[in-house]
Each structure stands twice: as structure tokens, then as C-alpha cells.
């Protein structure tokens, strides 16, 4: 209860403004550390204008509502940061706050604090009780869905590697007289930690659950010239004109536009087309395209429905990842034949907007967007990301200490921290795992 | 009428009785055999990883085990000395003949302590409160408090193959009815099992083919205030022995004749995981080509050797064959056969962290009766039960060590919060704050506390104070001594192959750097007046402050949760929405505070939130009144 918590308080979506709420004894101190203007020591219940600055970079222009304890919702110091909506900015500020020492609030935690600090009366407390139950339940369900089988297995693999290493270190400590047991030397520890670090960093990369929420989905539009790429682009953008944001210059890629799909940003990227070429300038463009195709989440491969998949199309399709490619068969008129392919395919007419809904549904289905866009998903995503990051940090800390010649008994605490963070992701508690493992793996004792 | 009666004069009982009398209360220590007090019924050693730290903690609180060990061992080692500072621990080979004598002397010197012989079979209870004990001859002794430290003597049976002998350890009398009577009063009784290996006649062992194990070339002591009692060159050796394919074959062929595997054991009797019998090891680790065993002398006054690692419940003829298959023991003569022993214990979930029983008031338990194993674990509970018995009589708050205060705190918290399945042994991995629970600072952690509650004498406290002052003085000197980086200083760094600091720096900050040792600092400052211990203390705390401070911060957080007390009269059935498993666990364990509650397995963070809300709702009303 004594740490400072933060969370995005506004609904997830595409509103113009998002509010991040920070509550706790360190709230003002933490926000001040990333805010351009001074929050004076006695100021309370005021609105301050300024910029959020992190690593010397301006993140956003914001309004702060500074409310000092006790006349606040939680009776603690509260700062509410009104930032510009959109996932990128809001998320980035949230991440920065977590980095600066805030903890992500549990479901219902602001209300819980309000109650525990005597802000809410007894009648209301029953509601709080139910609220926590309800939210936690749905959160649990959600987490389980999201983590899914594959990821759980991966996390468990890493936990297992850690546990086995720790049990070996422990047996060296608790039973030093048993000389037959493998001794974990610094050299061996270094090897093993590097191996685990490799797995873990891969996991961090792969399992950025929040990635879609925070970065959106990148769709690369690929196809021969004149098959209707730009008309698809324009149709998608036209329809969603109200929420198109101009993000030119924010990324290295040529993002033609951003549309929102159930609150998730879909970035549309046009490519220069893939062709073997000798022209230097064009070659750069092609290389760039290949890079985008590697990086993007979806490849929208546009073909002319009237001609079907041509030889040239086929050549390109062979190079594309079937799992992330959707063929859009664009037709100018009514004549077209049924196209036979293993790829997912959507028929439509970019000009008349026919088939665009099918395309969107396909994307929603592919990324489980209808699930993702639920209120709490974001919380559980961030929580997990936060934990994976912490697990990774612990391991890296251990590796650094090893370089600095810190004894293994100290470094083992980093491994333990890493293990505990990973267990927390799966909602498992660290109980007697280590002791059990020690006696499972090693034959020691009188 | 006594103030306190302690039942059993093993390692728990003597610490309990000693501290009660020392703190000023008339104490009766009852043993079924006064010639058998402080008996080391199993291994001839005290200490070891984690356990050695416990011995130092007992000493820091004013107990006997450390001193008695220092006076009676013939070999001592600092374990893990090269691995790192936080996991070091002492282990000593103890002379089984000398140790009980030394203990007896300490007990005889203790005023207000009376020793008597008698087998306790029942306790006297009035209004759920214990009032004394009843012996096998129906004699009664009355007291305000009873501390049961009955070891493996409750309803015990010895098993050797298909032989099942009604007996306490190595032929001692057992208590037939005490556990039965406790059950009658509502205490849950568990059945546990342990074992001990063969004792072998020394003149029948061919030591020439065995590898020696020596002690350290340094005068270590467990106690913070005792001088070494032996000469280094008089240390005795231990030896290494290995099992081989032949041994494994004999065991595999006779598995069904072992008490364990042949089904001669009481159903449900649980043996310790960390202390498997040799047949267990062969079965569970069938791919291992050999298992390591240790030959340790039991005493310098008689020629018997203890074969650590060879504990078994095989019949006698198989034991002979097994033994003779070992290199160096081809002609070995067994003086005592290995055996398994089954005994009754209580369920530690039913006791408080003060070690007082939740059902019967003024009844305390300590040692194996609480489901632990090991001399050190027993002694630790003994001194804590004794201290808390005294505090109860003085109507004072119980003395409860936290998980970050001592291994003793971890031990008792684990027992009363998690309960036990198999006999509990302390391991360093059980302590989450082991960077702080070190053997070098046991006195700094505990002696001040002990002095405040009265278990530490003024004399011991003065010695402690001197040591603390020495450490503080050393720190101050290092802090005050600023190193000016001139040519001469640069040269010293270069000679030692250490990077020269960029600017002037004081020695304490310099020590923070991984490559700097206090030995190196002696180039710049005279530290000859400081003891090795003080230097070590400052070096550890400074050099590893990054890691150690992290642990202190974690402790601060935990301490805040510990401040959130749960009222004794709480009705868990009234908490809405709490999971039923959590409810029944909370009901059973009745944790003292939120920190303890959150350690109970099956109690989830949501349940803790609901509990907090309930507490606020129910108990803040009272505050308003």
C-alpha cells in the first residue's frame, strides 16, 4: 500500500485525450522528475501546463492536475496527467512512470486505497469488494487467454532452466562436502546465464503482448503497379477520415496513413514493389520494401482479380510468409474468376468500397482484436510486459555482477528474482520449488 | 510447584531449561535417563551450511550450543569459505563423549535449575491450561508452564528389516502414552520417520585406501565470546568412502527386505527428503555409478566410526554384505546396526510463533516434536520456547524473530505458517534474506535484542558492545582517510594492477569497488589494531552494499505488512467473497499479521485484499468509538 501506483484512467480507444492517474507518497516527486515546469511545494488542486521530458526528448505537451493529500480520491497525493490520446504517447508516458518507480495499479486498486484510507463509506465498500472480485476474475481469465499455451510453455522452459541452475548452486552451498556433484563455477555460470538470457530476450521480443496495443498493426501493401494499391489505401483512409492522424516523420518507414480498427491503430505502409532491378535508386527502394515486408505484421498483397495470380505474382508470393499474408483480389468490374490459392484471400473493389469490411474483419480475426480491445486487456498486457522486463533486468544485472567478480552467492539472488518475476507472470507463487528441485536433482544427505 | 517444567533433556530441552533458569525462574528439567542428556543420537557433528549460522544465533541470544561445541570438537571447518561471504558457515566434528559432559557442567552451574529422572506419560490440564506433568509411576509435578521437548521418544519404534522393536533411539525407553493423551486433548498427531547409519569399529577399517578429509588451519569458534579450546595439529581426520556397482546390486536384490520398501513401515509415516536412506538413493538415482559416504570418528575416547550417507533399514545380514562391498571396509565390524525410527510429532500448524500451543495454554513445544530434524533446529526452538515461557510468566509480549532477523525466525515461521510434510531441515535456500542472515553478523542481529529481553548476560553484552564499537571505529577511520592521488599513490595502484581512481576518494568509498580489498587498503592506512572479524564485517557490508541494500529495502516493505496486525478474535467466516480454501487455511493458522497471512499457500493476493477491507470495516469502527 505504500508504493506509488499508476494507470491509464480513461477508456481505451481513440479519444482526443487520455488521462494517466498516479497516486501515492511519491506521486508528485516522480511526475516532477519528468515534467518541464516546477510543481511548487504547497500548490494543490491546480492545473499545470508543461511538457513530459524523458532522456532529453519531449514526449508530449500535457496538463497536470496536482492534488495533494488528503483531499483526494485515494487520500494520497494524486497527479493526473492529461496527455494527447493515442496509444503511442499514452503508453510511452506510462512506461516512463513505471521506469521511474511507479507500480502498475491492480484492478480496482485506486478504489481500494480510497476505501482503506477511509475515503469511502462502509456501504460503498461492499461495492468495492465486488468490484475487486469481478475485475480480478475477468483479469485472470483474460491473462490466461492471452498467455495461452505456447507462451506458458516457453516461460516454463526458462523457469526450468533457472531452477535447475539454482538448485545446483544451492546444492554446492548446502552440501559442499559432496564432491561428485557438478560445481557451478563462474565460467560455467556465465555460460548458463548467457544461454538463459538468449531465451529470455527472445521471449521479451516475441511476447510483447502490449505491442499491438501500443504500436498498432503494421500493414504493408504490396503488389505490381496499377493493381489498385493506392485506391485501397485511399478507400481505407477515406472511410476513417475523422481519425486519420498525420504521423509523417515519426517513423523511418513511409507510413501513408493510420486508421483505427476497434481502437487499434493500423498503420498502412506502401511499398515500392518488389522487382529485380539494376537501377540504383530503385534498388534502394526495393531493399527498403524487403525490410518492411520482414518487419510488418500483415502483408496485403494486391492482385488484379480479372487476371488472377500471374506468374510474376507467384514469384513474389513465394517469397512471402504465408501466415502473415492476405491477398486482396481487386476487381474493376463484375468479371472475375475464382482464384485458387493457399493464401487467405479477400475479394473486393477498392473504388466502390466493396469487400473492405471483409478485409477489416479478417484483420480483427487475425489479431484477436475484438478480445484485445477490452478494457482490461491493456492492464494485463502491461503488467506482463513489465514483469518480463524486470525478469530480464535481473538476469542482466546478474551477468554484469559476474563480470565485476561478485561472488556467486550474491548473483544467485538475481536468478531468484528473475525466477520470481517469471512465476508471477503465470500467477504462480514461488513456494518450495527450489528445495523440491534440489532433492529431486541431487542425491545428498546422511 | 515449579515455574516451568521442561520434558526431555535433548538439544531443545537443555537450551529451554537453561534459559528459563538463567532468566530467573525455578525450572525442572525431566529426563527419562539422566545419563543420556545432550545425547547426539545420530551424526557426530554440529553446524554445517545454515545450521552453523543457527548455532551462532543461539549463542548470540545467550544459549549454550555454540560454547559447548567449541569446547568439545576435534575438527572444525569454515564451509564455502572460497565461494562467497554470505553462505559461509562453521561445521565441527564433535566428540560425542565430551559434548554431554560439557553440557552437564553448564546445566549444573545454572542456578534455579533442577534435573530429575522420570518418564512423562501425561500432562495435567485445567480449563484448557496446562498445570503440570504426570510420570509413568503416577508421580505428579506441578508448574505454571510445561515445555515438551520429547524428540523421537513419542510412541517410537525401531525398524531393522522385518524387526520392529518398541523402543526409543538406540535402546532408550520410549514414552508410550504421551502422544496418545495429547491427541485426546485435541492435538493432531503426525507420524514421522528418520534413520541413522551403522557405527563401525575403527580397528577393522583399512584407512590406508581411503581419502582423508582434514579440518581448517584456523582457530574458528561458534561462540562470539569464547577462546579456542584445542590445538590445530590435534584435529582428527574424516575419510571419504564410495559405494560401487556391487553395493548397488546387493541393495537392489534385497529391496523387499528393507523396512522401507518391504512395507514394514507404518502407513503414512513420512521420512525426510533431505535425508534419504541408501536404498532410497539407489532407487531414485539409479543412473549414478557411485554415492559418496563419509567416515567420521565419534570420539577420541572410544574407537567407533559413523558412516554418514549409509543410513538404511535393511536387515542385519544385508547390512553386513553392503558394508563389506565398500573399499576399505571389506573386513569392517559393525558395533551398532543402522536403523529407521518412527515416532509421533504434533502438527506445528497448531502452535503459535511463540511456540505456545493454540489449544492448550501455557504448553510449549520445541524440537522434533514440532516436526523438525537436526540438533541445531531443535536447540534453536528450545531457546525460543524457553524465552517465550519466561515472557509469558512475566506477562510480556512474546519474542518473535522475523524472517529477516535470523534463520531461527525463518525456521519457526515456516513451521507455524506452512506446517510440515516431512521432517524439516534448515537450508540456506529457505531464507529469502540470506545476504543479511550471515554467520559473521549473528551477534549484531540478535545480541542487543537478547539483552533487552534478559536472555543475554551483562558480561556477554559488554563483549558485544566492544565489538560493535570496533567495527564503527574502523568504518570511521576508512571514511575519514582521504586518498590523495599523487604519484606515489598511483604507483601503488599500478603495481597491484588496479585502475587508479579519477579523483581523490575516501577509503570506504574505494572499498566499494569490486577489485579493491581491505588488504590492499592497508597500503594507505594502519589497521593493525583491528581484529580479523571486524575487518571482515566492514569489508562484506561495504563491498557488497549494492546487493545488501537491495535486500534491506525488500525488508522494509515486508516490515510494513507485518505492522498490519490481525486481531486474535477475527471471524474469518464473516469475510465476504474470500476463497473457501483461503478461509479454511486462515482459520487454521490464524496468522498474526498480513505479512504472515500472505505467506500461507492457498491464500491469494485477492484474498489478502478482501481481508484488509474486512479489517478496515470491522475494526476501524472500534477506533471511532
- Give every strand in the sheet of B304-308, ordered side by side: B211-213, B238-242, B292-297, B304-308, B199-201, B334-336
Rounded-to-integer distance, Cα A221 and Cα A157, Å: 37
Structural domain harbouring B619: 564-624
A118 vs B: CB within 8 A:
yes
- Residue B145 has phi, psi (to 5 degrees) of -135, 145
- Give every strand in the sheet of B89-94, ordered side by side: B45-47, B89-94, B73-79
Could you tell me if residue B85 is inside a domain?
no
- Residue A191 has phi, psi (to 5 degrees) of -60, -50
pLDDT of residue B493: 92
Could you tell me if residue B495 is inside a domain?
yes
Cβ separation of B308 and A112 shorter than 8 Å? no
Query: Looking at beta carbons, which residues of chain A come within 8 Å of B620?
Result: 118
Rounded-to-integer distance, Cα A137 and Cα A421, Å: 21
Bond before A70 cis per omega within 30 degrees? yes
Same domain for B521 and B592, yes or no, is no
Same domain for B239 and B296, yes or no, is yes
Cβ separation of A446 and B197 shorter than 8 Å? yes
Rounded-to-integer distance, Cα A39 and Cα A64, Å: 10
What topology does CATH give the domain A5-121?
Gyrase A; domain 2 (3.30.1360)
Under 8 Å CB-to-CB from B420, ≥6 apart: which residues?
A: B190, B347, B348, B371, B372
Same domain for B592 and B616, yes or no, is yes
A403 vs B: CB within 8 A:
no
Q: Choose among B197, B213, B606: nearest Cβ to A132.
A: B606
Cβ separation of B427 and A170 shorter than 8 Å? yes
Q: Are A380 and A142 in contact (CB under 8 A)?
A: yes
Max mean pLDDT among A359-368, B353-362, B501-510, B533-542 falls in B353-362
Map grid coordinates 486498486 to a residue.
Answer: A109
C-alpha cell at B506: 575516501
Rounded-to-integer distance, Cα A111 and Cα A231, Å: 49
**Which is the CATH superfamily of the domain at A224-371?**
P-loop containing nucleotide triphosphate hydrolases (3.40.50.300)
Q: Are B82 and B75 in contact (CB under 8 A)?
A: no
Residue A141 has pLDDT above 50, yes or no: no
C-alpha cell at A393: 533486468
Nearest CA in chain A to B288: A443
Could you tell me if residue B233 is inside a domain?
yes
Give the pLDDT band (50/70/90) at residue A275: low
Max mean pLDDT among B81-95, B211-225, B301-315 falls in B301-315
CA distances to B13, B73, B104 from B9, rounded to whole Å, are 5, 20, 10
CATH number for the domain including B222? 2.40.30.260
Give the pLDDT band (50/70/90) at residue A256: low
Rounded-to-integer distance, Cα A271 and Cα B19, Å: 83
Query: Looking at beta carbons, which residues of chain A come within 8 Å of B194?
Result: none
Q: Calculate the CA dihedral of residues A198, A202, A203, A206 and round it to 10 degrees.
A: 180
Q: Are β-strands B2-7 and B27-31 bridged in parallel, bridged antiparallel, or unpaired?
A: parallel
pLDDT of residue B376: 98
CA distances to A220, A224, A351, B556 from A230, rounded to whole Å, are 12, 11, 10, 61
Query: Looking at beta carbons, which residues of chain B come within 8 Å of A174?
Result: 49-50, 427-429
Could you tell me if residue B102 is inside a domain?
no
Mean residue pLDDT of chain A comes to: 76
Rounded-to-integer distance, Cα A368 and Cα A365, Å: 5
Q: Choose among A3, A443, A446: nearest Cβ to B311.
A: A446
Same domain for B203 and B275, yes or no, is yes
What are the residue ranges spanned by the domains of chain A?
Answer: 5-121, 126-212+381-427, 224-371
| A224-371 matches A126-212+381-427 in CATH topology | no
C-alpha cell at B274: 533431505
Cβ separation of B273 and A122 shorter than 8 Å? no
Rounded-to-integer distance, Cα A254 and Cα A267, Å: 10
Same domain for B227 and B300, yes or no, is yes
Q: How close B255 gets to chain A, by Cα (Å)?
A: 18
Mean residue pLDDT of chain B comes to: 92
Q: Are β-strands A103-104 and A5-8 bridged in parallel, bridged antiparallel, or unpaired?
A: parallel
Cβ separation of A128 and B613 shorter than 8 Å? yes
Could you tell me if residue B508 is inside a domain?
yes
- Give every strand in the sheet of A217-223, ordered side by side: A255-261, A264-270, A217-223, A298-304, A325-330, A344-348
Give the pLDDT band (50/70/90) at residue A190: very high
Could you tell me if residue B271 is inside a domain?
yes
Q: Name the least confident of A237-241, B417-421, B573-577.
A: A237-241
Same domain for B541 and B569, yes or no, is no
Q: Choose among B83, B275, B606: nearest Cβ to A445.
A: B275
Query: DSSP string covering B159-208, please?
Result: EETTEEEE-SGGG---BSSHHHHHHHTT--EEEEEEEE--EEEGGGS-GG
Q: How many domains does chain B have?
A: 3
- Averaged pLDDT for residues A105-125: 70
Q: Are B167 and B174 in contact (CB under 8 A)?
A: yes
Cβ separation of B79 and A176 shorter than 8 Å? yes
Q: Are A199 and A157 in contact (CB under 8 A)?
A: yes
Same domain for B206 and B300, yes or no, is yes
Q: Are B377 and B367 in contact (CB under 8 A)?
A: yes
- Residue B345 has phi, psi (to 5 degrees) of -135, 170
- Domain C-terminal end among B289, B308, B341: B341
A46 vs B: CB within 8 A:
no
Q: Are A262 and A364 in contact (CB under 8 A)?
A: yes
Of A214, A273, A267, A215, residue with least CA distance to A236? A267
Q: ipTM of the assembly?
A: 0.86
A409 vs B: CB within 8 A:
yes
- Averaged pLDDT for residues B418-443: 93
Of B516, B527, B540, B520, residue with least CA distance to B470? B527
Max mean pLDDT among A66-70, B325-329, B591-595 falls in B325-329
Q: Choose among A172, A175, A413: nearest Cβ to B435.
A: A413
Same domain for B572 and B543, yes or no, is no
Angle between helices A122-174 and A377-403 (to 10 degrees): 30
pLDDT of residue A215: 62
Cβ separation of B292 and A179 shorter than 8 Å? yes
Q: How close B514 gets to chain A, by Cα (Å)?
A: 6
A123 vs B: CB within 8 A:
no
CATH dotted code for A126-212+381-427 = 1.20.120.430
pTM here is 0.77
Of B34, B315, B310, residue with least CA distance to B198? B310
Could you tell me if residue B447 is inside a domain?
no
pLDDT of residue A249: 28
Q: How close A122 gets to chain B, by Cα (Å)?
A: 7
Size of interface A-B (CB pairs under 8 A): 130
Residue B213 has pLDDT above 60, yes or no: yes
Rounded-to-integer distance, Cα B586 and Cα B574, Å: 12
Same domain for B203 and B336, yes or no, is yes
Q: Choose among B85, B560, B613: nearest Cβ to A407.
A: B85
Could you tell me if residue B392 is inside a domain?
no
pLDDT (tens digit, 9 = 90+) per residue, A331-350? 766 565 677 788 888 888 77
Q: Choose among B309, B430, B606: nearest Cβ to A136.
A: B606
CATH number for the domain including B598? 1.10.150.570
**How many Cα atoms occupy the beta-carbon half-sphere of A297 within 13 Å?**
17
Cβ separation of A438 and B84 shorter than 8 Å? no
A183 vs B: CB within 8 A:
no
Cβ separation of A410 and B606 shorter than 8 Å? no
- Averaged pLDDT for residues B380-409: 97
Query: Which residues are bridge partners to A35 per DSSP?
Result: A52
Query: Looking at beta carbons, which residues of chain B come within 8 Å of A437?
Result: none
- Domain C-terminal end among B517, B548, B579: B548
Is A250 buried (19+), middle (13-18) or exposed (0-12) by CB count in 10 A? Answer: exposed
- Domain C-terminal end among B298, B320, B341: B341
Same domain for B505 and B607, yes or no, is no
Give the pLDDT band (50/70/90) at residue A378: very low
**Residue A51 host element (H or E):** strand A46-54
Nearest CA in chain A to B599: A431
Cβ separation of B292 and A180 shorter than 8 Å? yes
For an interface test with A, give the residue of B52, B274, B555 to mutate (most A CBs within 10 A).
B274
Q: Choose among B87, B557, B560: nearest Cβ to A409.
A: B87
Q: Are B51 and B426 in contact (CB under 8 A)?
A: yes
Q: Choose among A174, A177, A410: nearest Cβ to B547.
A: A410
Amino acid at each position: 500500500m505504500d508504493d506509488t501506483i499508476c494507470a491509464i484512467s480513461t477508456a481505451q480507444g481513440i479519444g482526443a485525450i487520455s488521462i494517466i492517474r498516479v497516486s501515492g507518497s511519491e506521486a508528485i516527486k516522480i511526475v516532477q522528475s519528468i515534467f518541464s515546469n516546477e510543481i511548487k511545494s504547497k500548490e494543490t488542486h491546480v492545473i499545470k501546463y508543461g511538457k513530459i521530458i524523458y532522456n532529453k526528448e519531449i514526449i508530449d505537451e500535457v496538463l497536470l492536475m496536482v492534488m495533494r493529500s488528503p483531499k483526494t480520491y485515494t487520500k494520497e497525493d494524486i497527479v493526473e496527467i492529461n496527455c494527447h490520446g493515442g496509444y503511442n504517447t499514452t503508453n510511452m508516458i506510462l512506461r516512463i512512470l513505471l521506469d521511474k518507480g511507479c507500480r502498475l495499479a491492480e484492478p480496482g486498486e485506486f478504489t481500494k486505497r480510497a476505501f482503506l484510507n477511509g475515503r469511502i463509506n462502509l456501504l460503498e465498500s461492499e461495492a468495492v469488494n465486488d468490484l475487486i472480485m469481478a475485475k480480478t476474475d475477468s483479469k485472470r481469465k483474460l491473462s490466461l487467454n492471452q498467455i495461452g499455451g505456447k507462451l506458458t510453455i516457453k516461460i516454463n522452459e526458462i523457469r526450468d532452466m533457472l531452477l535447475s541452475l539454482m538448485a545446483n548452486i544451492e546444492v554446492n552451498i548446502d552440501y559442499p562436502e559432496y564432491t561428485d556433484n557438478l560445481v557451478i563455477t563462474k565460467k560455467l555460470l556465465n555460460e548458463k546465464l548467457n544461454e538463459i538470457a538468449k531465451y529470455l530476450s527472445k521471449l521479451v521480443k516475441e511476447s510483447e503482448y502490449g505491442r499491438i496495443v501500443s504500436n498498432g498493426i503494421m500493414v504493408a501493401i504490396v503488389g505490381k503497379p496499377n493493381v489498385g494499391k493506392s485506391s485501397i489505401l485511399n478507400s481505407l483512409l477515406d472511410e476513417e477520415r475523422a481519425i486519420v492522424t498525420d504521423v509523417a516523420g515519426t517513423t523511418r518507414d513511409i507510413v501513408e496513413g493510420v486508421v483505427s480498427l476497434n481502437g487499434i491503430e493500423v498503420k498502412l505502409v506502401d511499398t515500392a514493389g518488389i522487382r529485380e532491378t539494376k537501377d540504383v535508386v530503385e534498388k534502394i527502394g526495393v531493399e527498403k520494401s524487403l525490410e518492411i515486408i520482414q518487419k510488418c505484421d500483415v502483408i496485403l498483397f494486391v492482385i488484379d482479380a480479372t487476371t488472377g495470380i500471374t506468374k510474376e505474382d507467384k514469384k513474389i508470393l513465394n517469397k512471402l510468409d504465408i501466415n502473415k499474408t492476405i491477398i486482396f483480389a481487386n476487381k474493376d468490374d463484375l468479371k472475375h474468376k475464382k482464384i485458387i490459392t493457399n493464401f487467405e484471400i479477400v475479394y473486393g473493389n477498392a473504388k466502390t468500397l466493396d469487400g473492405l469490411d471483409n478485409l477489416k474483419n479478417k484483420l480483427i480475426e487475425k489479431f484477436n482484436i475484438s478480445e484485445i480491445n477490452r478494457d482490461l486487456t491493456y492492464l494485463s498486457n502491461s503488467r506482463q510486459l513489465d514483469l518480463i522486463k524486470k525478469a530480464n533486468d535481473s538476469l542482466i544485472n546478474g551477468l554484469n555482477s559476474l563480470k565485476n567478480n561478485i561472488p556467486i552467492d550474491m548473483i544467485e539472488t538475481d536468478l531468484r528474482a528473475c525466477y520470481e518475476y517469471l512465476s508471477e507472470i503465470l500467477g504462480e507463487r514461488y513456494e518450495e520449488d527450489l528445495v523440491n528441485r534440489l532433492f529431486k536433482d541431487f542425491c545428498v544427505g546422511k | 510447584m515449579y515455574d516451568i517444567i521442561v520434558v526431555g533433556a535433548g538439544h531443545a530441552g537443555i537450551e529451554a531449561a537453561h534459559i528459563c533458569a538463567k532468566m530467573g525462574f525455578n525450572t525442572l528439567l525431566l529426563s527419562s535417563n539422566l545419563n543420556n542428556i545432550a545425547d547426539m543420537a545420530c551424526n557426530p557433528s554440529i553446524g554445517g551450511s545454515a545450521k552453523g549460522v543457527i548455532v551462532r544465533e543461539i549463542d548470540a541470544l545467550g544459549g549454550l550450543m555454540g560454547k559447548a561445541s567449541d569446547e568439545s570438537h576435534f575438527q572444525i571447518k569454515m564451509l564455502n569459505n572460497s565461494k562467497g561471504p554470505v553462505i559461509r558457515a562453521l561445521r565441527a566434528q564433535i566428540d560425542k563423549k565430551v559434548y554431554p559432559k560439557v553440557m552437564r557442567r553448564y546445566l549444573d552451574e545454572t542456578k534455579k535449575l533442577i534435573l530429575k529422572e522420570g518418564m512423562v506419560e501425561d500432562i495435567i490440564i485445567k480449563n484448557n491450561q496446562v498445570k503440570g506433568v504426570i510420570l509413568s509411576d503416577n508421580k505428579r509435578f506441578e508448574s505454571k508452564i510445561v515445555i515438551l521437548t520429547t524428540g523421537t521418544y513419542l510412541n517410537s519404534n525401531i525398524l531393522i528389516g522385518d524387526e520392529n522393536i518398541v523402543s526409543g533411539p538406540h535402546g532408550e525407553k520410549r514414552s508410550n502414552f504421551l502422544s496418545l493423551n495429547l491427541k485426546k486433548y485435541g492435538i493432531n498427531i503426525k507420524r514421522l520417520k528418520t534413520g541413522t547409519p551403522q557405527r563401525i569399529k575403527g580397528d577393522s577399517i583399512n584407512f590406508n585406501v581411503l581419502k582423508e578429509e582434514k579440518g581448517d588451519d584456523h582457530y574458528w569458534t561458534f561462540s562470539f565470546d569464547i577462546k579456542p579450546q584445542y590445538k590445530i595439529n590435534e584435529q582428527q581426520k574424516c575419510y571419504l568412502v564410495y559405494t560401487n556397482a556391487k553395493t548397488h546390486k546387493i541393495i537392489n536384490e534385497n529391496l523387499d527386505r528393507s523396512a522401507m520398501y518391504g512395507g514394514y513401515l507404518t502407513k503414512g509415516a513420512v521420512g525426510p527428503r533431505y535425508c534419504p536412506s541408501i536404498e532410497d538413493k539407489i532407487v531414485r538415482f539409479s543412473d549414478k555409478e557411485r554415492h559418496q559416504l563419509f567416515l567420521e570418528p565419534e570420539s577420541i575416547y572410544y574407537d567407533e566410526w559413523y558412516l554418514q550417507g549409509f543410513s538404511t533399514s535393511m536387515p542385519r545380514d544385508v547390512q553386513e554384505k553392503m558394508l563389506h562391498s565398500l573399499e576399505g571396509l571389506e573386513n569392517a565390524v559393525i558395533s551398532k546396526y543402522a536403523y529407521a525410527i518412527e515416532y509421533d510429532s504434533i502438527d506445528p500448524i497448531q502452535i503459535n510463533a511463540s511456540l505456545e500451543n493454540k489449544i492448550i495454554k501455557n504448553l510449549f513445544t520445541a524440537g522434533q516434536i514440532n516436526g523438525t530434524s537436526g540438533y541445531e533446529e531443535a536447540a534453536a526452538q528450545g531457546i525460543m520456547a524457553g524465552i517465550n515461557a519466561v515472557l509469558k510468566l512475566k506477562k510480556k509480549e512474546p519474542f518473535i524473530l522475523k524472517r529477516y532477523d535470523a534463520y531461527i525466525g525463518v525456521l519457526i515461521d515456516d513451521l507455524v505458517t506452512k506446517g510440515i510434510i516431512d521432517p524439516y531441515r534448515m537450508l540456506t535456500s529457505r531464507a529469502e534474506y540470506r545476504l543479511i542472515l550471515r554467520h559473521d553478523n549473528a551477534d549484531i542481529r540478535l545480541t542487543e535484542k537478547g539483552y533487552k529481553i534478559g536472555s543475554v548476560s551483562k558480561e556477554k553484552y559488554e563483549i558485544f558492545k566492544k565489538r560493535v564499537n570496533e567495527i564503527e571505529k574502523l568504518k570511521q577511520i576508512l571514511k575519514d582517510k582521504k586518498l590523495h592521488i599523487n604519484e606515489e599513490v598511483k604507483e601503488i595502484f599500478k603495481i597491484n594492477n588496479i585502475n587508479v581512481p579519477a579523483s581523490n576518494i575516501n577509503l570506504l568509498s574505494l572499498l566499494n569497488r569490486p577489485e579493491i580489498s581491505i588488504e590492499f587498503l592497508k597500503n594507505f592506512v594502519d589497521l593493525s589494531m583491528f581484529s580479523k572479524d571486524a575487518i571482515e564485517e566492514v569489508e562484506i557490508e561495504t563491498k557488497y552494499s549494492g546487493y545488501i541494500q537491495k535486500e534491506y529495502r525488500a525488508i522494509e516493505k515486508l516490515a510494513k505488512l507485518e505492522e498490519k496486525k490481525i486481531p486474535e478474535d477475527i471471524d474469518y467466516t464473516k469475510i465476504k467473497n474470500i476463497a473457501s480454501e483461503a478461509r479454511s487455511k486462515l482459520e487454521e493458522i490464524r496468522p498474526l499479521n498480513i505479512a504472515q497471512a500472505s505467506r500461507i499457500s492457498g491464500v491469494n493476493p485477492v484474498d489478502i485484499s478482501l481481508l484488509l477491507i474486512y479489517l478496515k470495516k470491522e475494526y476501524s469502527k472500534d477506533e471511532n468509538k
